[in-house]
Amino acid sequence: MPTETFEFQVEARQLLQLMIHSVYSNKDVFLRELVSNASDALDKLRLAALRDDTLDADVSDLHIELEIDRDARTLTVRDNGIGMSYDEVGQLIGTIANSGTAEFLRELKEAQDAAGAEGLIGQFGVGFYSGFMVADEVTLLTRRAGEPQGTRWSSRGEGTYTLERVDDAPQGTSVVLHLKPADPDNQLHDYTSVWKVKEIVKRYSDFITWPVRLVGEKDGDGGAAEPETLNSMKALWARSREEVSEEEYHELYKHIGHDWREPLETIQLQAEGTFEYQALLFVPAHAPHDLFSQNFRHGLQLYVKRVFIMDDCEALLPPYLRFVKGVVDAQDLSLNVSREILQQDRHIRMMQRRLTKKVLASVKSMLTGDAERYATFWREFGAVLKEGLVTDPDNRDALLAVASFATTRGDGETVTLKQYVERMPDGQDDIYYITGESRESVESSPHMEAFRERGVEVLLLTDPVDEVWTDAVGEFEGKRLRSVAKGEIDLAAREDDRGEGEREKQAEAYAGLLGWMRERLAEDVKEVRLSTRLTVSPACLVADANDLSPALESMYRAMGQEVPHARRILELNPDHALVKSLNEAYGEREDHAELTETAELLHSLAVLAEGGRPKDPARFVQQMANRLERTL
Name the site residues for ligand ADP (rule: CB under 6 A): 37-38, 41, 79, 81-84, 92-93, 125, 127-128, 173, 258
Rounded to 5°, the CA angle 89-90-94 comes to 105
Question: Which residue, 83 or 318, is less far from ligand ADP as judged by CB?
Answer: 83
CA-CA distance, 596 to 586, in Å (whole number)?
A: 10
CA-CA distance, 264 to 285, in Å (whole number)?
A: 5
DSSP characters for 181-218? PP-TT-GGG-TT-HHHHHHHHHHHHTT-SS-EEEEE--
To ligand ADP, the closest distance from the beta carbon of 102 in angstroms equals: 16
To ligand ADP, the closest distance from the beta carbon of 311 in angstroms equals: 11
SS3 398: helix
Burial grade of 575 (CB within 10 A; 0-12, 13-18, 19 or more): middle
Cα radius of gyration rounded to whole Å, the chain: 32
To ligand ADP, the closest distance from the beta carbon of 327 in angstroms equals: 17
Residue 399 phi/psi, 5-degree rounding, is -70, -40
Q: 601, 623 in Cβ contact below 8 A?
A: yes
Question: Which residue, 37 or 445, is less far from ligand ADP as judged by CB?
Answer: 37
DSSP characters for 413-471? -EEEHHHHHHTPPTT--SEEEEE-S-HHHHHT-GGGHHHHHHT---EEE-SHHHHHHHH
Q: 131, 177 in Cβ contact below 8 A?
A: yes
Question: Which residue, 38 or 473, is less far from ligand ADP as judged by CB?
Answer: 38
Question: Which residue, 50 or 578, is less far from ligand ADP as judged by CB?
Answer: 50
To ligand ADP, the closest distance from the beta carbon of 94 in angstroms equals: 10
Alpha-carbon torsion (231, 237, 238, 241), positive or negative: positive
To ligand ADP, the closest distance from the beta carbon of 43 in angstroms equals: 10
Question: Which residue, 64 or 417, is less far from ligand ADP as judged by CB?
Answer: 64
Question: Which residue, 33 or 392, is less far from ligand ADP as judged by CB?
Answer: 33
Question: Which residue, 44 or 198, is less far from ligand ADP as judged by CB?
Answer: 44
Question: Which residue, 126 or 363, is less far from ligand ADP as judged by CB?
Answer: 126
Q: How far are the Cα atoms of 225, 230, 233, 410, 569 from residue 210, in angstroms, in the given order?
A: 21, 10, 6, 54, 67
The residue of the chain with the least Cβ separation from ligand ADP equals: 127
Residues, the chain, total?
632
Q: 276, 143 in Cβ contact below 8 A?
A: no
Q: 282, 265 in Cβ contact below 8 A?
A: yes
CA-CA distance, 298 to 314, in Å (whole number)?
A: 6
To ligand ADP, the closest distance from the beta carbon of 396 in angstroms equals: 37
To ligand ADP, the closest distance from the beta carbon of 38 in angstroms equals: 5
To ligand ADP, the closest distance from the beta carbon of 54 in angstroms equals: 21
Question: Which residue, 29 or 93, is less far from ligand ADP as judged by CB?
Answer: 93
Q: How far are the Cα atoms of 80, 229, 251 from residue 226, in angstroms, in the given order?
A: 19, 10, 28
Question: Which residue, 42 or 431, is less far from ligand ADP as judged by CB?
Answer: 42
CA-CA distance, 160 to 137, in Å (whole number)?
A: 12
Beta bridge partners of 68: 75, 216
Question: Which residue, 290 or 443, is less far from ligand ADP as judged by CB?
Answer: 290
Question: Which residue, 41 or 605, is less far from ligand ADP as judged by CB?
Answer: 41
To ligand ADP, the closest distance from the beta carbon of 45 in angstroms equals: 9
Question: Which residue, 37 or 356, is less far from ligand ADP as judged by CB?
Answer: 37
Question: Which residue, 64 or 406, is less far from ligand ADP as judged by CB?
Answer: 64
To ligand ADP, the closest distance from the beta carbon of 13 in angstroms equals: 14
CA-CA distance, 81 to 38, in Å (whole number)?
A: 7
DSSP 89: I
Question: Which residue, 171 or 278, is less far from ligand ADP as judged by CB?
Answer: 171
To ligand ADP, the closest distance from the beta carbon of 143 in angstroms equals: 10
To ligand ADP, the closest distance from the beta carbon of 191 in angstroms equals: 18
SS3 109: helix
The helix (H) or strand (E) run that includes residue 50 is helix 29-51
Count of Cβ atoms closer than 10 Å to residue 169 Cβ: 20
End-to-end CA distance of the chain: 86
DSSP 321: G
Q: SS3 breakdown of the chain: % helix, strand, coil, rounded to 5?
A: 45, 20, 35
